[in-house]
C-alpha cells in the first residue's frame, strides 16, 4: 500500500514512524524512483523510539540503502490535540514530508490507549496542503483520522490491518477551528464531529 502511494505521488520527503523491515521497502521504492524519474531526489526519515531497536536497525541497514534513509532515535512524547491524546517522536526533523507511514511510537500508557500522532505533529512545519500516508495496524490512529476528516479520508482494510489516507493540513490548535457548531446530531441521537469532513 505504501509503495503504490509513493510511486503515485513521488514525495521527496518520506517520514516513517517506526523503523523495521518496512524501512528497506521504502528505501527500495525511493531508489527505484531515483533511477526512473529525472530530478527526483527522495529521502526516507525513519524515526525509532526504542534505543535497542534503533541500534539494530542502524547496524543492519544494507549499504545499498544508506544514501536513501536516515534512521533517527526519537524518544516518544505526549501530544495533545483538541480532545485527543496521542504520542509522537520527540525530535522529528523539520522537513517537508509529503508521505507518512504511521507504525509507532508505542501508543498505550498507564491511562490506556491513545494514538500515533506523528502525522499531526508534522503539520506544524510541512508546506504541502495535503499529506498522503498509510497507517499500519494502528486502528486508534485511523479512528482519529476518520473522526476528524470522515471515513473516506482514511479507509481501513481489516484484512490488511492497514489504512491509506490523504488529509489536508490543518492547524488544530487554532481557536477559530474549534467551535460548538462543529458538531452534528443525527435524528437518532448520534453526534458526528463534522468540522473538517469532506462533504
Q: What is the pLDDT of residues 13-66, one digit of tens each?
A: 999 999 999 999 999 999 999 999 999 999 999 999 999 999 999 999 999 999
pLDDT at site 96:
98
Reduced to 3 states, what is the DSSP secondary structure of residue 35?
A: helix
DSSP assignment of 96-154, as one string? -EEEEEE--S--EETTEE-EE-HHHHGGGT---SEEEEEEES-HHHHHHHHHHH-GGGE
Distance CA 81, CA 55 (A): 31
Residues 6+ apart with CB under 8 A from 33: 6, 7, 10, 40, 42
Whether the Cβ atoms of residue 38 and residue 63 lie closer than 8 Å to each other = no
Is 60 exceeded by the pLDDT of residue 199?
no
Least confident of 58-67, 119-128, 159-168, 181-190: 181-190
Distance CA 19, CA 35 (A): 24
Is 80 exceeded by the pLDDT of residue 165?
yes
Whether the Cβ atoms of residue 104 and residue 17 lie closer than 8 Å to each other = yes
Is 60 exceeded by the pLDDT of residue 198?
no
Q: Long-range pairs for 35-39 at CB < 8 Å and ≥24 separation? A: 37/10
List beta partners, residue 192: 184
Q: Is the pTM of this model over 0.95?
A: no
DSSP for residue 40? -
Sign of the alpha-carbon dihedral angle for 118, 6, 33, 23:
positive
Amino acid at each position: 500500500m505504501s509503495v503504490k502511494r509513493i510511486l503515485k505521488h513521488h514525495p521527496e520527503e518520506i517520514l516513517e514512524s517506526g523503523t523495521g523491515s518496512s524501512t528497506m521497502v521504502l528505501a527500495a521504492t525511493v531508489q527505484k524512483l531515483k533511477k526512473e524519474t529525472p530530478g527526483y531526489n527522495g529521502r526516507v526519515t525513519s524515526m525509532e523510539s526504542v534505543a535497542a531497536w534503533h541500534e539494530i536497525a542502524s547496524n543492519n541497514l544494507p549499504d545499498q540503502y544508506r544514501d536513501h534513509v536516515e534512521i533517527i532515535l526519537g524518544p516518544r512524547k505526549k501530544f495533545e490535540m483538541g480532545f485527543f491524546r496521542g504520542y509522537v517522536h520527540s525530535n522529528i526533523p523539520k522537513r517537508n514530508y509529503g508521505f507518512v507511514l504511521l507504525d509507532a511510537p508505542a501508543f498505550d500508557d498507564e491511562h490506556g490507549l491513545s494514538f500515533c500522532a506523528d502525522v499531526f505533529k508534522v503539520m506544524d512545519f510541512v508546506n504541502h496542503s495535503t499529506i498522503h500516508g498509510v497507517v499500519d495496524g494502528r486502528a486508534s490512529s485511523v479512528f482519529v483520522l476518520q473522526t476528524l476528516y470522515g471515513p473516506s479520508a482514511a479507509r481501513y482494510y481489516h484484512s490488511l490491518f492497514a489504512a491509506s489516507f490523504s488529509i489536508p493540513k490543518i492547524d488544530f490548535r487554532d481557536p477559530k477551528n474549534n467551535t460548538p457548531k462543529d458538531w452534528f446530531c443525527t435524528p437518532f441521537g448520534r453526534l458526528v464531529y463534522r468540522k473538517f469532513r469532506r462533504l
